Structure 1
Amino acid sequence: MTGRGAHLLIPVKGNRPTLFAQLTTLPWAQIPIGHQTRDRGHGRRETRTVKAVTLHTPGGIGFPHAQQAIRITRTRTITTSGKTSRETAYLTISLPAADAHPADLQHWARSEWLIENHVRDVTFREDLHQARTGNGPAVMATLRNTAIGFHRASGDTNIARAARRAGRRPHDLITAVTSSNPRTQ
């Protein structure tokens, strides 16, 4: 993709343990806050803080096109109970700092999360999956992408509802996939 001029913003999670460890051990305490937003709504207050650092040796962190490492910390307080939670996400991006400012990084990451978190993390519970070695993560990601693509090609906009329906009627999926004249629902 980068060979065609595209750029990559990659969330890094525990299923890439070496890269994840490299990102979490960067000197984040010494890196200044690049951008911060505060939002209220849905019975909670959220603060999102973005820190980004240029990598002096691109690809030196286990991702060949990485130009920057990013840490986004989201602190959420439920207004009725006062309960506070904190979530930290690590990402890499193939754009240099001159082309990807912290405010842009936050916007892009949040846009990606809206799709990924709902469909993959919520509907398919991707973060809870145990495939962590060998080809397992890639195979499972391919199966999830295939399911999402199939449902979207079938005209479904609510992937969770479509997945539930497919679970109740697996013969419809088998017919659609094996038929020489596929019919979507």
Structure 2
Amino acid sequence: MKITVSGASPYVRKVIACAIARGIDGQFEKWSISTTDPVLSDSNPLGKIPTLITDEGVAMFDSPVICEYIDSIGTAPPLFPAVGPARWKALRLQAIGDGILDASQPRRREIALPQDEGRIGYIKLQQGKVARALAVLEAEAASLGQLATVGDIAVACALGYLDFRFANEPWRAAHPKLAVWYASVEKLAPMAKTMPVAA
């Protein structure tokens, strides 16, 4: 199998963290490629990273699909629980974690551009999404696990991205329970081995 990688992408981090949690990260050939490279768009029409190419040559994208594919390989306990409340909890947490990333990545790009009323409004809109998501996670911090599901991993990757790209907007003081949980998981192998690197 081959997977596109970027040292700064939190979506790539989530995928690799899932592979580490499943004990299969050694089965992937890591492939560094630009999102503008036509070779990537030949495999993934969206031209997005991460993209996983299976041994059969099938392209998997984007990160939720890749993570579920990874969960089908090996014998470790599943990161996607079977049908029932535990599964919906994991998927919901994954949506919250991914949603924080979806709001944060474009905001970072917008901050670097000349500011006008429309851009300032857009940035505030994205900040509001992150703030509300963090408030939900703070309220539910006691129910978060030790990277046992894709939801736990997605949330941890989202918090790690806030530290990486928005260190000037610290989140821990206003979310002490979430901060305690994150401190308990950031040293675990899926997180410790996937620390982001500036591009």
Q: Which has the higher contact order (CA 8 A, sep 6+)?
A: 2
Q: TM-score, normalised by structure 1?
A: 0.23
Q: TM-score, normalised by structure 2?
A: 0.22
User: Higher helix proportion, which one?
Assistant: 2
User: Higher strand proportion, which one?
Assistant: 1
Higher-Rg structure is 1
